[in-house]
Amino acid sequence: MSNVYLIPSLLAQEATETIPAYVLKAVEACTVIFAENERTARRFLKKINKDIVIDRFEWFSIHNREEAETINFRQKIKENKNIAIISEAGCPGVADPGQKLVSIAQEMNCTVKPLVGPNAILLALMASGLNGQQFEFCGYLPVENEKRVKKIKELETGSAKNHCTKIFIETPYRNDQLLDAFLNHCKPSSRLCIAANLTAPQERIKTQSIADWKKNKPQLNKQPVMFLLLAQ
C-alpha cells in the first residue's frame, strides 16, 4: 500500500531552518513526486539537501483542471509507490491544489502522512492576537471593487456576530488595493492584522484597529501578505 507524504515547503527561500529534518527523510522514502511547481520543488529539495539526486524521482505537475494528473496519481498508488506531494509554498492541501490528490489518496485507502512545516495561515493567526478558537480562511476576495466591498462588509458583519477571525490572502501586486478597501469600508473599531513576509528576515506582523492603520498605512505592494480581520 502506498504512503502519501504531504511535504511542507518554504515560505521564504532563505528560511531553511523552518523545515524539520524528518521532512527530508520522508522525501527520501518516496520514488514519486507530485509538485504544484516542479521547478520550485526541485530548487527547494536541493536547498534542504544539496546531495539529493533529483532525477531519481518520477515527477508530475499538479494543475487545477487536468484530468491526466489524477489518472497518473491513481496509477502510482496502484503500483504501491510512495508519493510526495509538494506545494509551491507552505503545506499541501491547505488552500492548495494538492487537496484533490489527498482526497483521492483517502478514497483509495492510502496512509496519508502530513508533516510539520511553515503555514502562512496558522503563523499569521498565532501572532495576530485575534480569536484563534473560531476562524475562517476566506481566500481571495473578488477583484471587482463593488463586489469586493460588498463581500468585506458581509464578512465583517459575520465576524462581529460570531466573534470569528476572518483570514484573507491577495496576489502581492493587489495588496495595496485590498488594504485600501479594508480601511475605507470597515468600522474604525475592527481589528486588522497584517502579516507580511512570514519567516523571512524582513517579516513584519502587526495588529491594530482600522482607525490606527489609517494613521500610518504601510506599503505592501509585491510582498507576500496575510490579512486577518476581527470585528469588535
Please spell the DSSP secondary structure of 183-207, one letter per residue.
HHHS-TT-EEEEEESTTSTT-EEEE
| 18: helix, strand or coil | helix
What is the per-residue pLDDT across 174-231, written as a single tens digit (0 to 9) for each? 999 999 999 999 999 999 999 999 999 999 999 999 999 999 999 999 999 999 999 9
What is the per-residue pLDDT across 119-142, written as a single tens digit (0 to 9) for each? 999 999 999 999 999 999 999 999
Average pLDDT (4-21) is 96
Task: Label the pairing between strands 191-196 and 204-209.
Answer: antiparallel
Query: What domains are there in the chain, each with its CATH number?
Result: 3-114 (3.40.1010.10), 120-230 (3.30.950.10)
Rounded-to-integer distance, Cα 111 and Cα 216, Å = 49
Average pLDDT (80-105) is 93
In this prediction, residue 49 has a pLDDT band, given cuts at 50, 70 and 90, of very high
The pLDDT, as a whole number, for residue 67 is 82
Average pLDDT, whole number, for the chain?
95
Rounded-to-integer distance, Cα 18 and Cα 197, Å = 14
Closest CA relative to residue 89, chosen from 199, 205, 193, 176: 199
Percent of the chain with pLDDT over 70: 99
What is the per-residue pLDDT across 94-120, written as a single tens digit (0 to 9) for each? 888 889 999 999 999 999 999 999 999
Q: Which residues contact 21 (CB under 8 A, 6 or more apart)?
A: none
Residue 106 burial (CB count, 10 A)? 11
